[in-house]
């Protein structure tokens, strides 16, 4: 049996919710998900929650639910009036233990795995009562987000929420077994580390034993995993909690989970081939999706920006950008185009029939504050190949025909064009329009997956705010070897030996070959505007380590929450996290954060600033 097959078979054999016979306890002989017609006649004991109950004539039916499924219980007034009366008093979410006989149903329900049977109950034991839950425990619940978060322990009882957590569990087991089979060691790095001002804001933790000093929670184990490479660990991974004290956007959490990996004695190709194999394995084993034998596409960052206006292009559909500067700039009297630094278009197949109203919606979309375009130019291609555009009066029919040909638009297509004074900004706006059109045309199917690597990122990006170059990834990223000489002459043009794995327009993970040479690292810090003293103060421990035989190394990190959300088809990472925080960083169930006892602050030798007291 080859390795891949073995990993696969193992995953199948050890699936979680389908494994049988291991969940018998003193309280139950079977779960609510496993009884079938073949069990008819058996005496069983079940335990679970009342999903719903209904009375029909002299019969009472109760759906009993546990993590593994739902089984119908039957109480017959004629056979045991007292028991039936007891059953009629049970409310939703009561916790029961019942004994009874598995019996074939008259009216079978083929929508549920246990739909062929029911339990004729002979003994009923109420293990716990329940208040009426504040929302229904159903896939389509009547509970709003805030209420569900406050009662997250009830929300998780809903099958779809639980399924996300089960998926996350399965995903992590598969990741670990794959990486283990490749010789990676999972090594826990500390959560209480030192603060590094570069990058996002740290959460800090006052130290009682070292008054006036603070630990920081790691934004990622980046420097620690590099130290593990210096330590000769060769292949490291960790499914690690990371922390960033940022103002939360819709899909950010102050604590999130990374699959963090690092390898020694490798080049970019080694890393890409290892993790491409892992991606294919995970898609197949955990999601049941075959990514095929072909290697993933690799696009340079520049090409991705040029063709899709994004460093994480959604490749489930085409609608690539076509640059139109040669066609439209200076070839007519439309001042907006004549002044533009960039003009680009996309071709929406078969959309020439779009109404005025639909086009106005698209115009409003690109002009919305989040997108920020000035306007939208469109051109319809008629069935006869003629072009009718919103800029007809500025251009000759010949130019418009040239536009159609350059766009490779066919009869019935709609051409959408954006322009602007800042090429990069305009491309990003056009990217949003492309995604919107993809959405409208149903081209962004959640059950289709398209992966690629984006490579050759710029090393640096200019920060207007700070008036200096910033590291586009982080300051430990290696430049491409051929670009090293440019660090002195033209640092802004240096490309990094970095790569992102992108799936369906989402950056699933990314990484780089790291600098392993103390001198090169010092040079990069210099380009980033660090004085040698500040570099030493902040990263001295790493630069010192590099003096003791650091091997060539590189790695990457995946966003676990994001990857699982993709597999689950979720719109927010929040839905695959057991106890997420809201956009104010609060856990509304625990009511955290909260005020603490002043004694605690005294012990820590800190105090609240006056305006908080």
Q: Please, which of residues 64-83 interact with its own copies by CB under 8 A?
A: 65-68
Q: Which residues, 6+ apart, have CB-to-CB distance to 80 below 8 Å? A: 122
- Subset of 550-569 contacting its own copies (CB under 8 A): 550-552
Site for its own copies in 211-240 (CB under 8 A): 211-217, 224, 227-228, 230-235
- The answer to whether residue 165 forms part of the interface with its own copies (CB under 8 A) is yes
Spatial separation of the C-alpha atoms in residues 561 and 315, rounded to whole Å: 21
Residue 162 token pair: 């639980």
Nearest to 220 by CA among 243, 203, 199: 243
DSSP 190: P
**149 in contact with its own copies (CB under 8 A):** no
| Of the candidate residues 2, 5, 25, 78, the single one contacting its own copies (CB under 8 A) | 25
Spatial contact of 244 and 200, defined as CB atoms under 8 Å apart:
yes
By beta-carbon proximity to its own copies, the closer residue of 251 and 323 is: 251
Cα separations (Å) of 194 from 229, 231, 351, 528, 541? 19, 20, 56, 21, 11
**148 or 427: whose CB is closer to its own copies?**
148
One of 123, 146, 188, 326 touching its own copies (CB under 8 A): 188
Q: Does 250 bind its own copies (CB under 8 A)?
A: no
CA distance 541 to 561: 31
Nearest to 380 by CA among 363, 398, 404: 404
Cα angle 111, 575, 260; round to 5: 120
* Span interacting with its own copies, options 173-181, 364-372, 475-483, 485-493, rule CB under 8 A: 173-181
Q: Produce one character per residue of 582-594: b if its CB has 16 or more CB atoms within 10 Å, e if not.
A: eeebebbbeeeee
Binding residues for its own copies restricted to 352-371, rule: CB under 8 A = none
Q: How many CB atoms lie within 10 A of CB 386?
A: 13
Whole-number minimum distance, CB 155 to its own copies, in Å? 8
Q: Which of 332, 307, 302 is nearest to 318 (CA)?
A: 307
Closer Cβ to its own copies, 235 or 473, answer by number: 235
Q: Which residues of 177-202 are buried (b: 16+ CB within 10 A; e: fewer)?
A: bbbeebebeebebeeebebbebeeeb
* Nearer CB in complex with its own copies: 161/423: 161
Q: How many residues bind its own copies (CB under 8 A)?
A: 144
Does 484 sit near its own copies (CB under 8 A)? Answer: no
Q: Which stretch binds its own copies (CB under 8 A): 126-134, 399-407, 438-446, 504-512?
A: 126-134
The answer to whether 481 contacts its own copies (rule: CB under 8 A) is no
Mark the segment that binds its own copies (CB under 8 A) among 174-182, 324-332, 378-386, 405-413: 174-182
Q: How far is the CB of 298 from its own copies (least distance, A)?
A: 16
Run of H or E including 300: strand 297-300
Nearer to its own copies (CB atom), residue 334 or residue 453: 453
Q: Which listed residue (144, 183, 369, 467) binds its own copies by CB under 8 A?
A: 183
Cross-strand pairs, 205: 215
Instruction: Choose the binding region for its own copies from 22-30, 372-380, 418-426, 496-504 (rule: CB under 8 A).
Output: 22-30
**Which residue's CB is nearer to its own copies, number 491 or number 554?**
554
Stretch that binds its own copies, among 56-64, 167-175, 472-480, 525-533 (CB under 8 A): 167-175
- Least distance from its own copies to the Cβ atom of residue 80, Å: 24
Residue 125 binds its own copies, judged by CB under 8 A: no
475: nearest Cα among 230, 234, 222: 222
* Closest alpha carbon to 63 in 86, 30, 39, 87: 87
Instruction: Determine which residue in the list 428, 474, 516, 562 makes contact with its own copies, applying CB under 8 A.
Output: 516
Half-sphere exposure of 539 (CA within 13 A, CB side): 24
Q: Does 198 bind its own copies (CB under 8 A)?
A: no
Binding marks (x or -) toward its own copies, 82..101, rule CB under 8 A?
A: -----------xxx-x----
Q: Which stretch binds its own copies (CB under 8 A): 128-136, 357-365, 440-448, 498-506?
A: 128-136
Q: Which of 382, 463, 592, 598 lies at the binding interface for its own copies (CB under 8 A)?
A: 592
- What is residue 398's three-state secondary structure? helix
Q: From the list 4, 8, 17, 367, which residue makes contact with its own copies (rule: CB under 8 A)? A: 17
Place of tokens 């990993």: 7
Taking CB under 8 A as the binding criterion, the range among 75-83, 350-358, 384-392, 542-550 that sits at the site for its own copies is 542-550
Shortest reach from residue 549's CB to its own copies, in Å: 4
Q: Which is nearer to its own copies, 266 or 304 (CB)?
A: 266
Sole binder of its own copies in the list 35, 124, 149, 266 (CB under 8 A): 266
Indicate the pairing of strand 95-104 with strand 43-56. antiparallel
The C-alpha angle with vertex 43 and arms to 38 and 48, in degrees rounded to 5, equals: 95
Tell which residue, 590, 304, 522, has the closest CA to residue 428: 304
Binding flag, residue 424, its own copies (CB under 8 A): no
Tokens of 112: 């549920």
Residue 200, C-beta contacts closer than 8 angstroms, at least 6 positions apart: 219, 244, 245, 246
């Amino acid at each position: 049996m080859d390795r891949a097959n073995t990993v696969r078979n193992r995953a199948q054999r050890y699936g979680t919710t389908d494994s049988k016979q291991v969940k018998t306890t003193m309280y139950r002989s079977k779960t609510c998900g496993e009884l079938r017609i073949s069990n008819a006649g058996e005496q069983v004991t079940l335990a679970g929650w009342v999903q719903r109950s209904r009375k029909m004539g002299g019969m009472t039916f109760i759906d009993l639910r546990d993590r593994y499924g739902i089984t119908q219980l039957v109480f017959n007034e004629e056979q045991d009036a007292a028991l039936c009366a007891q059953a009629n008093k049970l409310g939703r979410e009561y916790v029961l233990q019942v004994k009874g006989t598995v019996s074939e149903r008259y009216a079978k329900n083929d929508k549920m795995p246990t739909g062929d049977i029911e339990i004729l109950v002979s003994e009923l034991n109420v293990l716990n009562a329940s208040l009426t839950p504040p929302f229904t425990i159903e896939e389509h619940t009547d509970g709003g987000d805030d209420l569900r978060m406050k009662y997250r322990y009830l929300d998780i009882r809903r099958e779809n929420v639980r399924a996300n957590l089960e998926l996350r569990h399965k995903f992590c087991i598969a990741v670990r077994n794959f990486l283990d089979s490749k010789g990676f060691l999972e090594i826990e790095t500390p959560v209480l580390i030192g603060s590094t001002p570069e990058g996002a804001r740290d959460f800090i933790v006052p130290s009682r034993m070292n008054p006036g000093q603070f630990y920081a929670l790691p934004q990622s184990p980046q420097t620690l995993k590099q130290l593990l490479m210096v330590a000769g660990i060769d292949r490291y991974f960790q499914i690690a909690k990371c922390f960033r004290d940022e103002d939360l956007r819709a899909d950010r959490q102050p604590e999130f989970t990374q699959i963090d990996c690092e390898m020694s004695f490798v080049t970019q190709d080694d890393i890409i081939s290892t993790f491409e194999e892992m991606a294919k394995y995970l898609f197949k084993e955990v999601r049941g999706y075959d990514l095929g034998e072909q290697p993933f596409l690799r696009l340079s960052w520049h090409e991705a920006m040029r063709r899709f206006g994004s460093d994480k292009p959604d490749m489930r559909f085409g609608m690539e950008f076509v640059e139109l500067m040669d066609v439209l700039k200076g070839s007519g009297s439309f001042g907006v185009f004549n002044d533009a630094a960039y003009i680009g278009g996309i071709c929406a197949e078969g959309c020439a029939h779009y109404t005025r109203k639909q086009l106005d919606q698209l115009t409003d979309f690109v002009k919305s504050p989040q997108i920020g375009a000035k306007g939208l130019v469109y051109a319809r291609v008629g069935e006869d190949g003629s072009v009718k555009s919103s800029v007809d009066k500025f251009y000759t029919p010949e130019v418009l025909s040239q536009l159609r040909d350059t766009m490779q638009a066919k009869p019935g297509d709609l051409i959408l064009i954006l322009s602007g004074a800042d090429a990069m900004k305009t491309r990003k706006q056009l990217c949003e329009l492309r995604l919107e059109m993809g959405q409208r045309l149903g081209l962004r199917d959640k059950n289709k997956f398209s992966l690629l690597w984006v490579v050759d990122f710029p090393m640096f990006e200019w920060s207007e705010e700070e008036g200096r170059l910033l590291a586009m990834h982080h300051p430990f990223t290696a430049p491409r070897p051929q670009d090293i000489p440019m660090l002195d002459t033209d640092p802004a043009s240096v490309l990094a030996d970095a790569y992102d794995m992108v799936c369906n327009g989402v950056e699933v993970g990314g990484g780089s070959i790291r600098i392993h040479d103390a001198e090169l690292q010092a040079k990069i810090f210099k380009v980033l505007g660090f004085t040698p003293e500040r570099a030493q103060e902040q990263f001295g421990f790493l630069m010192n380590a590099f003096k003791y035989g650091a091997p060539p190394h590189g790695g990457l990190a995946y966003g676990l929450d994001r990857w699982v959300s993709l597999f689950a088809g979720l719109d927010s990472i929040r839905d695959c996290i057991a106890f997420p925080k809201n956009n104010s960083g609060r856990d509304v169930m625990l009511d955290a954060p909260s005020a603490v006892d002043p004694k605690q602050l005294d012990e820590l030798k800190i105090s609240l600033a006056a305006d908080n007291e």
